[in-house]
Amino acid sequence: MSLSPKISVIVPVYNVEDYLPRCIDSILAQDYEDFELLLIDDGSTDKGGHICDGYAKHDVRVRVFHKENGGVSSARNLGLDNAVGEFVAFVDSDDYVESAYLSDLVSDMTREFGTDLVIQKTYMADSLDASAEQSYDMYSIEDFPQLMRDVKLYLYTGVYAKLFRTGIIKAGNIKFPEGMCFGEDGIFYFAYLDSIRKVVVSSAGNYHYEQRPGSAIHRKFGFKPEYAGFRQFWPVSRYMDFVKKYAVHQDVADEYCYNVSTYLHRAVTEIETAYQLKGIPEKDWEFFRRYFRPISVKTSFDRLMINNFHGRPTILVPYLRFCRYVKDFLARRNLDKVMNLLKK
């Protein structure tokens, strides 16, 4: 490894010993070799930390950092603090990449002068279509409204399958917000987008996204952190400022607001007490009424109950408790078909 590798690849690690070797092996097998791999052990209680140390002993490109558990944001921030590459790429420790992942990202970043961000495709698990013809589109800042519509930036806010400039991140002191249980990618991503002028969108697909039952997107964290996550996106945030600036098409703005309304729905379904329910201001309920759209039988009932009874805790709170009880009961008995109705 050179003293100043071109790319710093940051991988936060927490209790994924069954997936971690596949992830690390896929990164070390890149056909582009000028990179460093930063493995951030976020206080893993399994063998993850030892696995990381084992790779560092056998490959000079690997650097390992052990820290107390603080969440994925703090792990990524530690990686950013120690990154020395000109560019930064992120990989989640339960995912894996094709051998052309970094070479395609660098090629797209350096093809035209002034490119500050590369966005590539993501594939779920093993769905990669290697035969697909690759395309390449450049968007300058004046094209960002069209970029919002074409690429749906307000939905696909994960930092994986993207290449960032380290200098822009450090100059703008752009960090992942710590203490959030979900959505931290979006806060970082839109702060970065608001600091750049040129984006490349490529159809190259080299990133495999693993959907695990225990991953953050599938877990609930209780009302307080879930509601705090919603408030990161509404009504005032850098995320919202960016959307207001560039979502000139009404359908784009509405889709963004729908996406944020699902965060409020997540929070409400975790309410345990009347006190929690009464702490939500009326403007949030108005936002929910306007933008939330049900996508299942369960969410249809939720919308009906929330819209009509959010001011009557004696009705809504028992309903929410009953829904959680039924969902947990079915989950314990692996009744997947019924669980799909209660998924959201």
pLDDT tens-digit readout, 27-75: 999 999 999 999 999 999 999 999 999 999 999 999 999 999 999 999 9
Q: For residue 288, what are the domain limits? A: 220-341
pLDDT digits (tens, 9 = 90+) for 16-28: 999 999 999 999 9
Instruction: Indicate if the pLDDT at residue 127 is higher than 70.
Output: no
Residues of the chain above pLDDT 90, percent: 60
Instruction: Indicate if the pLDDT at residue 128 is higher than 60.
Output: no
pLDDT of residue 133: 46
pLDDT of residue 329: 85
Any domain includes 2? no
What CA–CA distance (Å, rounded) separates 190 from 212?
26
User: Is the domain of 255 the same as that of 145?
Assistant: no
Q: Rounded to two decimals, what is the model's pTM? A: 0.84
User: Is the domain of 252 the same as that of 187?
Assistant: no
Number of structural domains in the chain: 2
Residue 332 or 161, more confident: 161
User: Is the domain of 84 the same as that of 67?
Assistant: yes
pLDDT digits (tens, 9 = 90+) for 76-89: 999 999 999 999 99
Any domain includes 104? yes
Alpha helices in the chain (DSSP H): 20-28, 48-58, 72-82, 101-110, 144-151, 166-171, 184-193, 223-231, 238-246, 250-268, 274-278, 282-291, 297-309, 313-332, 336-341
Residue 220 binned pLDDT confidence (cut-offs 50, 70, 90) = low
User: Is the domain of 206 the same as that of 252?
Assistant: no
